[in-house]
């Protein structure tokens, strides 16, 4: 059996970092971890190829080689998925699809031959058994949660690691919280399930033996969902392994803001090599936090929480949302002030949308306020429901918010605010690769010479060089990030999206 695994193209978005990747000559932020894991579940005697369309073009020859084309995708990849499936149909090759997009929205893909829904550990073996019998159903699904302690190591040999600036790994699935707008509990449940510590070390060993050194992203939607197991089992074991290997990796992840409540956990994460954590901060408005059941963010000084995490050497990235029913018209100014005061450099502010299957989706459907499916990119000036705030006022305020926080003046002000107090841990010199030196020289040309932010770039450069030389690499990195964010928002068509809503 010949199987082609295809990861569809992701559009250029806030999180794609496309314009930043150009500086380091990389093609995509992360490899397709889900597909690589599925590949490891397939029979050993099958012939496998993988095409990440974010790295190279999918050729007709690739499709015609295969007996089946396996596709995994997220919502934001819908357009590319449709194109891939049409091409496969035209060439007479059967398609097999799974992943978040299809699990929540499979009804909109009648042209796909076989749908492997929910978690592949449960549904893929059923499909493989039926293939061997020559009698395959169209839909395979399950209402159970998989034991991810049995999940195999991803098949890394199918990709060229040089195409990516970071590898990725998964420790847990599920989140103990129940935020109204979040589809994580729909996909993975509220009881966090974890891999064994030996399993994680084995996965890291495989990456290490493949020659990987540098960034690794723990893709868990809430890395600290099971704090006890994390503190008692994984992190001490991980620290010991990292020390034995002379710290070959730099880790990043996602976590809830209550990470700041646990000094012991923060200390362990620092020792293990974590440098970045993304947090869903959402809003400083308590009524909106109440509305969306974001209980873990309530009744706390969020800025002090961020500052505390930063003291442990971790850079906090923040997710924010506008468009809640309880958002007052002052929310835009409050968010601008909050983001500037917090010094969160990478601040992703999106419009509220309702993913299929969430409590928010069902509530809005009951209220008759749903309009269409969401795009999967909540920074593209689209909403899939009728907001309580007058639409024109909401969009005008959102646009002003984005234009303000990513203007060169405000953005670089935030970078300096962050770097003044940030003490990064020391990493080995092999993390400073040739590509990153080239990125520095490119930044001088594209940002420091011809960019409209060049004055701010040089102010930051010389401030870092003379006052805090240790953070100079971060100053250059954030300058490149800012270049990407401004290009992304500049390229969105404001008028087109306004007309779409109307």
Q: How confident is the model at residue 499 (pLDDT cuts 50, 70, 90)?
A: very low
Question: From CA 239, how far away is CA 342, in angstroms rounded?
Answer: 30
Question: From CA 348, how far away is CA 318, in angstroms rounded?
Answer: 6
Contact between 79 and 11 under an 8 Å Cβ cutoff? The reply is: yes
Helix (H/G/I), strand (E/B), else coil: 281:
strand
- For the full predicted model, state whether its pTM sits above 0.85: yes
Whether 492 has a pLDDT exceeding 50, the answer reads: yes
Question: From CA 193, how far away is CA 174, in angstroms rounded?
Answer: 6
What pLDDT, in 10s, does the model give residues 215-242?
A: 999 999 999 999 999 999 999 999 999 9
Average of per-residue pLDDT values in the chain: 95
Q: How many residues would you count in the chain? A: 502
Domain chopping of the chain, boundaries: 2-140, 165-405, 426-491
Whether 432 has a pLDDT exceeding 60, the answer reads: no
For the domain spanning 2-140, the CATH number is: 3.40.50.280
pLDDT of residue 497: 46
Question: From CA 438, how far away is CA 461, in angstroms rounded?
Answer: 16
What pLDDT, in 10s, does the model give residues 84-108?
A: 999 999 999 999 999 999 999 999 9
Contact between 164 and 27 under an 8 Å Cβ cutoff? The reply is: yes
Write out the two tokens for 404. Answer: 């303000």
Question: From CA 481, how far away is CA 476, in angstroms rounded?
Answer: 9
Helix (H/G/I), strand (E/B), else coil: 321:
strand
Tell me phi and psi for residue 108, to 5 degrees.
-90, 10
Question: From CA 12, how far away is CA 3, in angstroms rounded?
Answer: 28
Question: From CA 412, how far away is CA 482, in angstroms rounded?
Answer: 8
Mean of pLDDT values over 250-272: 98
Whether 496 has a pLDDT exceeding 50, the answer reads: no
Whether 197 has a pLDDT exceeding 60, the answer reads: yes
Write out the two tokens for 3. Answer: 């199987």
| Percentage of the residues of the chain whose pLDDT score is greater than 90 | 93
For the domain spanning 165-405, the CATH number is: 3.20.20.70
Could you tell me which of 309, 285, 258 has the C-alpha nearest to residue 418?
309
pLDDT of residue 501: 45
Burial of 104 per CB tally in 10 Å (0-12, 13-18, 19+): buried
Mean of pLDDT values over 132-147: 96
């Amino acid at each position: 059996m010949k199987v082609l695994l295809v990861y569809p193209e992701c559009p250029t978005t806030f999180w794609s970092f496309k314009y930043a990747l150009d500086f380091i000559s990389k093609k995509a932020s992360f490899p397709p971890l889900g597909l690589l894991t599925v590949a490891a579940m397939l029979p050993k005697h099958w012939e496998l190829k993988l095409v990440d369309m974010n790295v190279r073009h999918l050729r007709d020859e690739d499709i015609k080689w295969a007996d089946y084309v396996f596709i995994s995708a997220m919502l934001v990849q819908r357009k590319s998925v449709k194109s891939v499936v049409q091409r496969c149909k035209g060439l007479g090759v059967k398609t097999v699809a799974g992943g978040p997009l299809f699990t929540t929205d499979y009804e909109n893909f009648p042209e796909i031959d076989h749908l492997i829904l929910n978690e592949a550990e449960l549904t893929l073996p059923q499909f493989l058994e039926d293939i061997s019998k020559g009698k395959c159903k169209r839909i395979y699904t399950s209402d159970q949660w998989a034991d991810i302690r049995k999940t195999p190591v991803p098949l890394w040999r199918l990709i060229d690691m040089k195409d990516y600036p970071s590898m990725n790994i998964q420790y847990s699935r599920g989140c103990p919280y129940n935020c109204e707008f979040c589809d994580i509990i729909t996909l993975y449940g509220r009881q966090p399930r974890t891999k064994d510590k030996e399993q994680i070390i084995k996965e890291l060993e495989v990456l290490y033996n493949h020659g990987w050194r540098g960034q690794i992203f723990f893709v868990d939607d809430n890395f600290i969902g099971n704090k006890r197991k994390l503190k008692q089992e994984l992190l001490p074991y991980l620290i010991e392994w990292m020390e034995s290997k002379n710290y070959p990796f730099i880790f990043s992840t996602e976590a809830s803001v209550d990470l700041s409540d646990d000094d012991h956990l923060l200390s362990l994460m620092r020792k293990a090599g974590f440098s970045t954590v993304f947090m869903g901060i959402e809003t400083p408005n308590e009524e909106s936090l109440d509305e969306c059941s974001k209980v873990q963010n309530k009744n706390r000084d969020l800025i002090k929480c961020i500052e505390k995490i930063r003291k442990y050497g971790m850079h906090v990235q923040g997710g924010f949302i506008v468009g809640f029913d309880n958002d007052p018209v002052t929310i835009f100014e409050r968010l601008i002030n909050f983001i500037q005061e917090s010094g969160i450099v990478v601040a992703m502010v999106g419009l509220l949308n309702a993913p299929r299957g969430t409590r928010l989706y069902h509530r809005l459907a009951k209220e008759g306020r749903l309009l269409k499916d969401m795009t999967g990119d909540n920074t593209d000036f689209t909403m899939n429901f009728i907001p309580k705030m007058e639409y024109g006022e909401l969009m005008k305020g959102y646009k002003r918010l984005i234009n303000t926080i990513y203007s060169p003046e405000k953005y670089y002000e935030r970078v300096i605010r962050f770097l003044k107090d940030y003490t990064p841990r020391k990493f080995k010199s092999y993390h400073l690769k040739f590509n990153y030196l080239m990125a520095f020289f490119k930044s001088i040309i594209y940002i420091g010479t011809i960019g409209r932010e060049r004055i701010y770039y040089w102010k930051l450069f010389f401030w870092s060089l003379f006052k805090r030389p240790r953070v100079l690499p971060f100053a250059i990195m954030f300058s490149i990030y800012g270049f990407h964010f401004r290009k992304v928002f500049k390229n969105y068509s404001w008028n087109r999206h306004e007309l779409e809503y109307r």
